[in-house]
Chain A
Amino acid sequence: MQTLSRTLFLVALTAMSAVQAAPRDDILAAYTAQAKAEDATFAGFSAARGEALHRDRHSGGKADSPSCTSCHGENTRAAGRTPVGKSIEPVAVSVAPTRYTDAAKVEKWFRRNCREVLGRECSAREKGDWLAFMTTQ
């Protein structure tokens, strides 16, 4: 009986995590298609490039937020903080499994935050790289 309920629980859990991972995969697939369209030599996303995008200090954006880490913090698994002092949930998928599952939300914040940090919108490749990095975190 106990084994059965444990099995059922595990099945439900797997089903649940599949439900959460699927939209994230869809979002990545959409960025892949877009990246290919933007650059014929595109050969897949890179978590290492994503990490550099995340941690580097950029110029071109706002002086008080030169890096993604200005708000999201150095530690991807810890909470970040907005300039107004509000706490931001961690960005690492391992500790925030519901993240990057709503395409409109993801797009909205990439648009806002890339302008804020880089002074321009991010390319599809940059977005995919960044998401690839967060998925490894």
Chain B
Amino acid sequence: MKPLIRSIAVGVALFAVGAVMLERAKAGSDEFFAPVTDPLTRQECGSCHMAFPAGLLPARSWQKMMGELDNHFGEDASVDAATAKQITTYLVAHAADSTGYGDMRRWLRGVSASAAPQRITELPKWVREHREVSPREWTRKEIATKANCVACHVDAERGYFEDD
């Protein structure tokens, strides 16, 4: 009984160490985008779809989107002014091009400085990363839409978008 418990404990410890190492390796790559930490943003921007990591779009995109929430991809996602302000502040501070926050600029390669793309799924990098996904995949019923990252990236809520 005792040796069994000990080997379980060792296994768990090894797994934890492995997880930490994996996490280190992934930060700074195209596989890891820090999940939304602001509770208000998580709540307001995470009820219809996952709360997309702020590092997936540049600040100007978030600013534009936050100004047009009453017509958000055809849906009404509007919030009161104070809420909108707090969410905008958070998203802009953690955007792909915000200084001092990670190094997500590579993610914006091919996006013109004057453009404020509204879809992550139309960024040249996103399209490139997904060009090998077969067209049949996108129309599977569980997927519903390209924006349903979690359907394929099971750990997306925790920031991981590696090839699953």
Contact = CB atoms under 8 A, between A and B. Distances in A.
B150 to A, nearest CB: 8
B76 A86 contact: no
Interface residues of A, number: 12
A18 interface: no
B21 interface: no
B38 to A, nearest CB: 18
Interface in B48-95: 48-50, 74-79
A134 to B, nearest CB: 18
Interface residues of B, number: 18
Given A85-B143, A85-B145, A85-B151, A62 B74 contact: yes
A112 B148 CA distance: 21
A112 B77 contact: yes
Contact of B76 (A83, A84, A85, A115): A115
Contact of A116 (B75, B144, B151): B75
Nearest to A114: B76
A82 interface: yes
B145 A112 contact: no
Main secondary structure on B side of the interface with A:
loop
A67 to B, nearest CB: 16
A81 B142 CA distance: 10
Interface string A47-66: 00000000000000010000
A74 B161 CA distance: 33
Contacts of B145: 83-85
Contacts of A115: 76
Contacts of B151: 85
B76 to A, nearest CB: 5
B121 to A, nearest CB: 11
B147 interface: yes
Contacts of A108: 79
B49 A86 contact: yes
18 contacts: A82-B48, A83-B48, A83-B144, A83-B145, A84-B147, A85-B49, A85-B142, A85-B143, A85-B148, A85-B151, A86-B50, A86-B150, A108-B79, A111-B76, A112-B75, A112-B78, A115-B76, A116-B75
Interface of A: 62, 81-86, 108, 111-112, 115-116
